[in-house]
């Protein structure tokens, strides 16, 4: 089983203005002369973490990571104006051009897989290879699976679901995403934070294959909870700003690009059917379904991801 590479620090950090409103936090790690790769974090709204640098051989990769609009250290924090999938795709191109990178590997998991597919389909000539984890295609069933009463995740995590549901009065249970959004967009900071923490408690403790259903999870920090919950509700209520089935419809634009798709069999946030459907439309891609949940930190997923990035470095490095 492959493991993560050792911890590293950025050799350079940047503040990159992508509009009059938004400024991105961008990191470069590894080898400045290595194979370029861009890491696309999940959420949306989650931001990057130090362990995200460790999926790549630092001697062979020039690793570019950034906090998407409103997330992490990007500013304004939790800002949703001018924040759509199309804006984020444009930001990736801005970063690539800013660094003078001709083509690069694109790596993303969960929402990052959505954004990776959207970017690659918009700019296939810029993508050397794709590594995708925890596929999320943004279809109505996927949007409802985890956050609504007619979804399936509540049957697997009833303890955490009870906490998520209890935050919303029964008369608003027909559309929980909208009910949460009304609170996440409240003028009262205390109302916003309480809703964000409830949203994050539901999601943050449901990612790994083995976990304690009563543990706090990993989204309890107020800043992370606010940016994640606001961005997710914003994107979900707008069908992630994509046309119906757009990512499957346009997969023909990227079928020539070498790709690895890895998905946990017991992923309760992004069900494995999405990976299977993507693979059926894209038979050239390598599909690996492993004994894991949603988290990129599950050992079986780490093994496939690191193996995939090493293989691309062998091929293009």
Would residue 110 show up in a list of annotated catalytic residues for this protein? yes
Q: Which listed residue (267, 274, 279, 310) is catalytic? A: 267
Strand segments (E) across the chain: 12-17, 23-30, 35-40, 61-66, 104-109, 127-133, 259-264, 286-290
Q: Which listed residue (67, 113, 294, 298) is catalytic? A: 294
- How does strand 12-17 pair with strand 23-30? antiparallel
Would residue 267 show up in a list of annotated catalytic residues for this protein? yes
**DSSP for 130-147?**
EEEES-----HHHHHHHH
- What are the angstrom distances between the C-alpha of 220 and each of 135, 201, 263, 295, 313? 24, 7, 25, 17, 36
Which H or E run includes 315?
helix 299-316
- Show the tokens assigned to 241: 């700003």
Nearest 5°: the CA angle 137, 272, 166 is: 80
Q: Which listed residue (74, 110, 113, 274) is catalytic? A: 110
Close Cβ partners of 277 (under 8 Å, ≥ 6 residues apart): 137, 248
Q: CA-CA distance, 49 to 63, in Å (whole number)?
A: 13
Q: Under DSSP, is residue 297 helix (H, G, I), strand (E, B) or coil?
A: coil
Q: Which of 233, 235, 239, 238 is nearest to 181 (CA)?
A: 233
Q: Which residues pair with 263 in a beta bridge?
A: 289
Is the separation of the CB atoms in 23 and 201 below 8 Å? no
Q: Catalytic residue numbers? A: 110, 267, 294
């Amino acid at each position: 089983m492959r493991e993560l590479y050792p911890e590293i620090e950025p050799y350079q950090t940047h503040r990159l203005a992508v509009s009059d409103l938004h400024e991105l936090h961008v990191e470069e790690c590894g080898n400045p002369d290595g194979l370029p790769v861009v890491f696309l974090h999940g959420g949306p709204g989650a931001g990057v973490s130090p362990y995200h640098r460790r999926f790549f051989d630092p001697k062979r990769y020039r690793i570019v990571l950034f906090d998407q609009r409103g997330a992490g250290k990007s500013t304004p924090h939790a800002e949703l104006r001018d924040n759509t999938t199309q804006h984020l795709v444009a930001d990736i191109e801005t970063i690539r051009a800013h660094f003078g990178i001709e083509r690069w590997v694109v790596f993303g998991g969960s929402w990052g897989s959505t954004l990776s597919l959207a970017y690659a389909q918009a700019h296939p000539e810029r993508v050397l290879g794709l590594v995708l984890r925890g596929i999320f295609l943004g279809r109505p069933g996927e949007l409802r699976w985890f956050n609504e009463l007619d979804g399936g995740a509540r049957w697997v995590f009833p303890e955490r679901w009870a906490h998520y549901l209890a935050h919303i009065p029964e008369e608003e249970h027909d559309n929980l995403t909208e009910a949460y959004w009304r609170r996440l967009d409240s003028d009262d900071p205390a109302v916003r934070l309480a809703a964000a923490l409830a949203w994050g408690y539901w999601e943050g403790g449901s990612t790994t294959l083995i976990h304690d259903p009563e543990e706090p999870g990993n989204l309890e920090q107020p800043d992370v909870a606010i940016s994640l919950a606001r961005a997710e509700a914003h994107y979900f209520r707008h069908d992630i700003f994509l046309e119906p089935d757009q990512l499957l419809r346009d997969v023909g634009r990227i079928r020539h690009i070498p790709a690895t798709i890895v998905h946990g069999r017991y992923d309760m946030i992004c069900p494995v059917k999405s990976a299977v459907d993507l693979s059926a439309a894209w038979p050239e891609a390598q599909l690996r379904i492993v004994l894991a949940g949603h988290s990129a930190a599950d050992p079986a997923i780490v093994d496939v991801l690191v193996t995939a990035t090493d293989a691309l470095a062998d091929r293009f490095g």
